[in-house]
Amino acid sequence: MPELRKDPIVDRWVIIATERWKRPSDFQVSRELPGRGSLCPFCPGNEALTPQEVLAYRPEAGRANGPGWTLRVVPNKFPALQIEGVLNREGVGMFDKMNGVGAHEVIIESPDHKMTLSAMSEKVFENTFWAYRDRILDLKKDGRFRYILIFKNHGVEAGASLEHTHSQLIALPIIPSQVLDELNGSREHFAEKERCIYCDILKQEISDGARVVCENGDFACIAPFAPRFPFEVWVLPKAHASNFEETQKSHFESLARIFSEVLRRLDRALNTPPYNFILHTAPLRDKADEYHHWHFEIMPKLTEVAGFERGSGFYINPTPPEEAAKFLREVDL
Amino acid sequence: MPELRKDPIVDRWVIIATERWKRPSDFQVSRELPGRGSLCPFCPGNEALTPQEVLAYRPEAGRANGPGWTLRVVPNKFPALQIEGVLNREGVGMFDKMNGVGAHEVIIESPDHKMTLSAMSEKVFENTFWAYRDRILDLKKDGRFRYILIFKNHGVEAGASLEHTHSQLIALPIIPSQVLDELNGSREHFAEKERCIYCDILKQEISDGARVVCENGDFACIAPFAPRFPFEVWVLPKAHASNFEETQKSHFESLARIFSEVLRRLDRALNTPPYNFILHTAPLRDKADEYHHWHFEIMPKLTEVAGFERGSGFYINPTPPEEAAKFLREVDL
C-alpha cells in the first residue's frame, strides 16, 4: 500500500509508492503521448478498459459504463492512493507516516478524443465544473478525507500521460503544504483586519487594472502580483466564497465563460502551450469560510523546470505580470 | 532593474525580470545545449567573453582574466539580479517589493570543457567547495544581503544552459521560502527539545541504516524519510554546524570524497542523469547556529515536471527512499 510520509523539518507530506515502485531502468523519459492509433481507454465504446464509473452525465438515458455520456468520472487505473482501508497513523522513531488511503479519480471532460479543452464549447466547461462539485460533495461524506485536490495536466511537458482530455481528483487525509501556507496566510490577514486577503487583492487589482486579464459579472482573471511562472493567471469569484462546491448554480455558467476565454487567450498568445491548472478550495473539515477564497491557478509550462527552484522555493520569472496581462488582454480572439 | 516581489498570502518572494522580459515568442524550448562547435565562454583562452573574474585559483601565478586557472568565478553575464544600487523597499498598495539588488555569479569548476563533475578528481570538488566558501565570506561583508544560494543545474533537463560544467551563486536581500520553512521548523524543534533536528535525524538514520547511502568520518549521505523526488539524497556533516563557510579546513577533503562518491553512484545507478544540487546553509545575518544544520540536497531529474505538484506543493514519489538508498549502496563503482 502507498504511504503518506511527513518531512519532520518542514511538515510537508508526500506520497511514497511502496509497492509498484520505480526502479532506475523505469525512468526512461518518453516525450510522446500514446497516439491516436492505440486504443484509448477514455473513448466511448472502450468503457470496459477503465474501472467502473463513479459519475457520468448521459443526456439521453443509457446504461452505466456504456457509451452515450458527455462526461464520465472513473477511478484512476493506477492510483497514487488506495481507496480501501482505515486510516492508520504511525510513528517511526521521530518520523510520522500513515497508510496511503485516498481517492484518485479521472474526470473525462468530453467523449471527443481529438478536442482540447480550450477548443470546446462553454457547455463542456460547465459540465466539468458540475462534475468537480458533484465529486467533492460525494467524497466529503467520507470522514477519512481532509482535502480534495482537483487539477489538470495538459500536454506531455505538463505531465499528461494520455492524450484524451481529462482532469484528475485526489482526495487526501492531509492538507497539501502550499494550500496550508495559503490557509495560514489568509487566516493571519483575517485575524488582523477582519477581511479576506483575496477580496482585498481583487479590490485593488480591479481598481488598478494593470494585471486584469478579463472579467465578467461574477468572476475575474488576474495575473498575480508575484507570480512564480511566466503567464501564470488566477481565476477568482468576485464575491467572497471559500468552498468551490457551494458555488451557486447561476455562477457555473459565468465561470465556464471566463475559463474558456482565459484558455483561448493563452492558446492564442502562447501557441497552444502545455499547462496545469489547479483548484484551491477550502479543506473539507477545517472551517475556513471567513478567510479563505477559492480560486483556480492556471500555469502555462513555458520554461524548462527551474532547476534550483525545486530546492529553494525561489522563483525567477522572466515575464512581469503586467506585461503578461496586457498581452493576454490584447490578443485577438 | 529586476524587482523582488512578495506574494502577500504566503510571503513568498520572487524575482521579476522587468527589463529584458520574455515575450511569448521567446519561449521556444530548445532541448539541446550549445555544442562543442560554438565558442565556449567558460573555456581557457576565452576569458574575455565573460565579465571580469571575481575569484580564480591559479596554481602557477598568472595574470587575472587570462588562462592558467583551475577554477574561475565570474559574474553571470545575464544576471537575474543587479549588483549595483542601494536596496529600495517599497509598498504598492497592499503589495511589497524591492529593487532586485543582488549578486549572480558563475563558478566554473574546471577548465576542461568535456568533463562532467562526477568524472573529475576529488581535488576538483575540493577546489569547488573552497570557492563556495571564499565567495560566501566575501559577499557576507555586503550589508545588503541576507542569504546566499549556491546550486548546480547539470544537464538541459535540469535547467543548464551551457555545456561547460559550472555552478551558480545568487546573493539575495531576502531568504528563499523553502529555506525559511526549514529555519522555522528547526527553530521550533530546538525550542522544544534543545536539540538540532538534523542531528536527531542523522542519529536515527545512522543507527537504522536503511536510508544511508554512504558515509565517512565527517559526512553522511542519506535518502530522506519523506523525499519529494525519486533518488533525492542529502549530504550532511555529522557534527553540528550551521554555516557552510565555517567548515574546518580538514573537512573539505572528506566532503569532496563523499560528494564525488555520491555523484558517481547516481551516475552508475541512473545512467548519468540530469540533476540539481543546492546548498542549504544558515542566513548571513540571522543567528541560526544552534538550530540550523547546513547540508546539500541532490535531486536527480528523472520524472517530467510533476504537473499539479507545482500548484500544490504535494509530491508523489514513485521510489521509496529505502529502495533508492539500497540501490545506490549496492551499485558497483
CATH of the domain at B330: 3.30.428.10
Give domain status of residue B51, yes or no: yes
Give how many domains chain B has, as a whole number.
1
Q: What does the pLDDT read at residue A99? A: 92
Shared domain for A248 and A321, answered yes or no, is yes
Cβ–Cβ below 8 Å for B11 and A297: no
Average pLDDT, chain B: 91
Chain A CB contacts of B312 under 8 Å are: 149, 151, 176-179, 278
Shared domain for A51 and A170, answered yes or no, is yes
Average pLDDT for residues B208-224, to the nearest whole number? 98
Range(s) of the domain holding residue B313: 38-79+102-333
Average pLDDT for residues A262-267, to the nearest whole number? 96
* pLDDT of residue A29 exceeding 60: no
State the helix-helix crossing angle for A249-270 and A122-139, rounded to 10 degrees. Answer: 120
Give domain status of residue B304, yes or no: yes
Assign A36 a pLDDT band (cuts: 50, 70, 90). low
Cβ–Cβ below 8 Å for A308 and B159: yes
Residue A188: all three cell numbers together: 493571519
* pLDDT of residue B85 exceeding 90: no
Chain B CB contacts of A320 under 8 Å are: 3, 16-18, 21
Phi, psi at residue A242, to the nearest 5°?
-95, -30
Query: Is A166 one of the catalytic residues?
Result: yes
pLDDT digits (tens, 9 = 90+) for A205-259: 999 999 999 999 999 999 999 999 999 999 999 999 999 999 999 999 999 999 9
Cβ–Cβ below 8 Å for B204 and A158: no
Average pLDDT for residues B203-226, to the nearest whole number? 97
* pLDDT of residue A119 exceeding 60: yes
In angstroms, the separation between the Cα of residue A249 and the nearest Cα of chain B is 27
User: Among B149, B304, B329, which would you mutate to test the A interface (most chain A Cβ atoms within 10 Å of its Cβ)?
Assistant: B304
Residue of B nearest to A208 (CA): B93
CB atoms near residue B295 (< 10 Å): 24
What is the distance between the alpha carbons of residues A60 and B220, in angstroms, rounded to a whole number? 64
* pLDDT of residue A31 exceeding 60: no
Assign B313 a pLDDT band (cuts: 50, 70, 90). confident
Q: What does the pLDDT read at residue A197? A: 97
Q: What percent of chain A has pLDDT above 70?
A: 95
Please name the member of A7, A182, A303 whose beta carbon is closest to the beta carbon of B224.
A7
Q: What percent of chain B has pLDDT above 70?
A: 95
Q: What does the pLDDT read at residue B287? A: 85
- Between A80 and B195, the more confident residue is B195
Shared domain for A200 and A323, answered yes or no, is yes
* pLDDT of residue B327 exceeding 90: yes
Query: Catalytic amino acids of B?
Result: 166
Give domain status of residue B33, yes or no: no
Chain A CB contacts of B198 under 8 Å are: 9
**Could you tell me the CA-to-CA distances from A259 to A264, A285, A326, B112 in Å, in that order?**
9, 28, 17, 51
User: Among B1, B10, B90, B188, which would you mutate to test the A interface (most chain A Cβ atoms within 10 Å of its Cβ)?
Assistant: B10
B310, A299 Cβ separation under 8 angstroms: yes
Cβ–Cβ below 8 Å for A319 and B21: yes
Assign B261 a pLDDT band (cuts: 50, 70, 90). very high
Shared domain for A186 and A108, answered yes or no, is no
Identify the CA nearest to A277 among candidates A110, A109, A140, A111. A109
Residue A44: all three cell numbers together: 466511448
Q: What does the pLDDT read at residue B32? A: 57
Shared domain for A223 and A264, answered yes or no, is yes
Cβ–Cβ below 8 Å for B7 and A303: no
Q: Given A114, A143, A175, which residue is the final one in a domain?
A: A175
Shared domain for A113 and A39, answered yes or no, is yes
* pLDDT of residue A14 exceeding 80: yes
Q: Which of A166, A189, A292, A295 is catalytic?
A: A166
Coil, strand, or helix at residue B4?
Answer: strand
Chain A CB contacts of B148 under 8 Å are: none
Please name the member of A22, A94, A307 whose beta carbon is closest to the beta carbon of B201.
A94
Assign B33 a pLDDT band (cuts: 50, 70, 90). low
* pLDDT of residue B101 exceeding 70: yes
Chain A CB contacts of B187 under 8 Å are: none
Q: What does the pLDDT read at residue A64? A: 95
Give domain status of residue B22, yes or no: no
**Could you tell me the CA-to-CA distances from A39 to A153, A155, A165, B163 in Å, in that order?**
20, 19, 15, 40
Cβ–Cβ below 8 Å for B320 and A176: no
Please name the member of A22, A93, A299 whose beta carbon is closest to the beta carbon of B230.
A22
* pLDDT of residue A32 exceeding 60: no
| Element holding B201 (H helix, E strand) | helix B197-208
Shared domain for A184 and A161, answered yes or no, is no
In angstroms, the separation between the Cα of residue B156 and the nearest Cα of chain A is 8
Q: What does the pLDDT read at residue A323? A: 94
Coil, strand, or helix at residue A299?
Answer: strand
Give domain status of residue B257, yes or no: yes
Shared domain for A165 and A251, answered yes or no, is no
A30-44, A242-256, B147-161, B192-206: least confident range: A30-44
Assign B307 a pLDDT band (cuts: 50, 70, 90). low
Chain B CB contacts of A169 under 8 Å are: none
Residue A288: all three cell numbers together: 475556513
Chain A CB contacts of B242 under 8 Å are: none
Assign B64 a pLDDT band (cuts: 50, 70, 90). very high
Three-state SS across A246-278? HCCHHHHHHHHHHHHHHHHHHHHHHCCCCEEEE
Does the pTM of the predicted model rise above 0.90?
yes
Q: What does the pLDDT read at residue A34? A: 57
* pLDDT of residue A30 exceeding 60: no
- Between A302 and B256, the more confident residue is B256
pLDDT digits (tens, 9 = 90+) for A143-192: 999 999 999 999 888 888 888 999 999 999 999 999 999 999 999 999 99
* pLDDT of residue A322 exceeding 90: yes
* pLDDT of residue A103 exceeding 80: yes
Shared domain for A171 and A182, answered yes or no, is no
Residue of B nearest to A311 (CA): B278
Residue B30: all three cell numbers together: 530548445
* pLDDT of residue B320 exceeding 90: yes
Q: Given A153, A175, A197, which residue is the final one in a domain?
A: A175
Cβ–Cβ below 8 Å for A230 and B22: yes
User: Judging by DSSP bridges, how do beta strands B212-215 and A71-75 pair with one another?
Assistant: unpaired
Cβ–Cβ below 8 Å for A228 and B310: yes
* pLDDT of residue A290 exceeding 80: yes
Please name the member of B11, B149, B307 whose beta carbon is closest to the beta carbon of A308.
B149
Cβ–Cβ below 8 Å for A27 and B273: yes
Average pLDDT for residues B325-332, to the nearest whole number? 95
Shared domain for A147 and A265, answered yes or no, is no
Shared domain for A207 and A66, answered yes or no, is no
Which residues are CB-neighbours of B78 under 8 A, at least 6 positions away?
Answer: B20
pLDDT digits (tens, 9 = 90+) for A47-95: 999 999 999 999 998 899 999 999 999 999 888 898 888 889 999 999 9
Shared domain for A122 and A265, answered yes or no, is no
Cβ–Cβ below 8 Å for B151 and A307: yes
Q: What does the pLDDT read at residue A115? A: 86
